[in-house]
Structure 1
């Protein structure tokens, strides 16, 4: 008996109340069947009457006629009605609390193969919108310590409030079952401080899940090696990227606008890397470009000896070990 009571009180309150309601209705249903077997021929009939009466629905299909039966009905209305009402109120309050905790980032994420975004800023917001608009069917978990609640509601977004370099926060984001993690630079900090925070977060993420694909944003060149040492699989050098774009905007040939052109290309196309097919060994770059053009893909360069050759001479001979850089539609 003591063990059953211990199990009962360790159960969540929803299950405790539900089991209490079931036991109470079964007790009154069996009691009315014993007291008035002619009016309640089966135990199920008695339980049905107990639920209908206790929930104050009152269909009237079964009615106790004896004094003892009516006394049982009075006790059922007093005890059962209050318990059922309390049970429904608890469910409603629990649902509201769960929604409030979701908005505040207090609920643990239970899914897997999701994307973890660290930091709520314009970059992560646009990235999330692109994933949703292109119907990538990826669940996103956002980790941020600056917001008290999430103002941006999307069914694919789960918010976890906290610092991404803390194990408790990463566990709440279910990092060990995540597929990707993206750490963006904190715009509220100076560049060096932002990079240090990014590297610390990268160490924490890779320490908890060495298999995850980690993408980090680094602002200063000196910290690129440290980000690599921390385990980043891909390092986005946003300052280098923006400086190059500004340079092209300064010295562009009208009417071409490099920034708009590149954004449009990246929005609709995707880069791929393929090992050189055997049939293209010792072929020219032009012949390889024609090979991929048949499948509506654009060969733009090659990787050779850890060097990237973009738009090489058409007469350049490809050799075994080269990696081809191909641009193709995002939906292919």
Structure 2
């Protein structure tokens, strides 16, 4: 039978039985709620025994409910359980649309993506992530990660991920493609499709080779992460300066030591020196702005009225610094 018909028939049966039992035995069921309570405990087979019919007519109708009401409600409950199981299956297979906002969209799946998701979830217990990949089932079993199956160049997939209302997007290299040019070309296609569909969004793209960044000149990409060069630089630094790789890893990871954090510029800070001194008193080290890390050479230069600064600090210090932003 049609599910809606079953649901409507159940409502009608419960409503009609409530009124009928009140009419048949007004003394046994002083109010409609008492009658409704007895009907529900009967058709769900709970049977508390606090109310029960005593007349012949009432008992005959109760027998009718035993045969038809319990069966009908049992079918409806089974349909509800089946629907919930089906809903969970659709979510696991990446076929459910994400309706949240201010989330982060990650494209692709690899070990790097897995670590990135763990870092994001650890950094903010309110943040939600939408993962777009071509896997049969979700690789991450947590309520804060919503999986969408498909290709990011497909507009329907972007719509399911609610890309237009996300906070930012990270496009990772497809590691199944061994040719760097082809892998970066796929990332370019994804960035192009996102820019065309969603307009101005903060997009970060991982590329294998720095020379391929020029290919993205017509796409609104905010930041690039050069995968191969970054790993090579870390390896060289580790070889030349013992412990350098550990230092960089600690700065990049939110699970160990202090972290690199972004904070807003306050109006009372007129120069970089003002910000540097204040932050030092709070236990944070100013290392740069969005333009450069060469803060020491421009301490006496004026700060822009609005913008962001990068500092190294622990979680407790960061919470104190961003309280200003929330108050503003």
Deviates more, 1:63-72 or 1:227-236: 63-72
Larger radius of gyration: 1
| Separation in structure 1 between the aligned mates of residue 287 and residue 54 of structure 2, nearest angstrom | 90
Deviates more, 1:92-101 or 1:16-25: 16-25
Partner-residue secondary structure (3-state), 2:203: strand
Residue 125 of structure 1 corresponds to: 114
Distance 1:317 1:151, change over 3 A: closer
Residue 160 of structure 2 corresponds to: 172
Deviation, 1:112, is 1.0
Equivalent residue in structure 1 for 2:196, among 207, 219, 222: 207
Deviation, 1:55, is 2.1
Equivalent residue in structure 2 for 1:100, among 83, 89, 100: 89
Contact 2:285 2:313 (8 Å CA) reproduced: no
Deviation, 1:40, is 3.6
Q: Name structure 1 gaps, 5 residues minimum.
A: 1-8
Deviation, 1:94, is 1.6
Query: Is it true that 1:184 corresponds to 2:181 in the alignment?
Result: no
Query: Is it true that 1:154 corresponds to 2:142 in the alignment?
Result: yes
Partner-residue secondary structure (3-state), 2:221: coil
Residues 1-332 of structure 1: pairs in structure 2 closer than 5 A: 13=3, 17-145=6-134, 147-189=135-177, 190-250=179-239, 252-253=240-241, 256-267=242-253, 268-270=258-260, 272=262, 292-300=279-287, 308=292, 310=294, 318-320=300-302, 326-329=310-313, 331=315, 332=318
Distance 1:302 1:89, change over 3 A: closer
Partner-residue secondary structure (3-state), 2:86: helix
Contact 1:185 1:194 (8 Å CA) reproduced: yes
Deviation, 1:230, is 1.4
Deviation, 1:120, is 1.2
For normalisation by structure 1, the TM-score amounts to 0.79
Q: Name structure 2 gaps, 5 residues minimum.
A: 319-328
| Separation in structure 1 between the aligned mates of residue 32 and residue 278 of structure 2, nearest angstrom | 78
Partner-residue secondary structure (3-state), 1:229: coil
**Alpha-carbon RMSD:** 3.2
